[in-house]
Structure 1
């Protein structure tokens, strides 16, 4: 068990290490969020939902908006 100065040094070192880890985790989460938002390229013309690819967009449109006519950009997309 550490005592006195050794204990204070150990606590300071541990606190510094934790702060470094916390800062790094927050940075990675922000990068992941930005990358995910960049990947959402297609926007539904009816409800403004965002999708990553045209196939998903077509499935969304057929399931959520069956009464609406399929947009021109989705008519040639394979199911």
Structure 2
């Protein structure tokens, strides 16, 4: 078992390693969130839900809003 100065050095080293891991983990999570948010470019005109591509947007619109008329930009998109 470590005693005295060796124990303090070990604790400081472990705390520094843990802080570095937390910083790295937080950075990755923020980067992923920003990338995911940037990918959501299509916004539903009825419910304001965000979708990544027009095909998904059309499927959403047909399933969630069947009574509403399909927007012009979605009429061209084939499923």
Which TM-score band applies after superposition, normalised by the shorter structure?
over 0.9
Measure how far apart 1:31 and its partner are. 0.4
Cα deviation, 1:8-59, whole Å, max 9, x if unaligned, reads 0000000000000000100010000000000000000000000000000000
Aligned position for 2:37 = 37
- Partners in 1 of 2:20 and 2:57 — Cα distance? 40
Q: Which structure 1 residue ranges, 5 or more long, are not aligned?
A: none
Q: Which structure 2 residue ranges, 5 or more long, are not aligned?
A: none
Aligned position for 2:27 = 27
Q: What is the RMSD computed on CA atoms of the aligned residues? A: 0.4
Aligned position for 2:53 = 53
TM-score in terms of structure 1 length: 0.99
Stretches of 4+ moved more than 2 A in 1? none
Aligned position for 1:65 = 65
- SS for the counterpart of 1:32 is helix
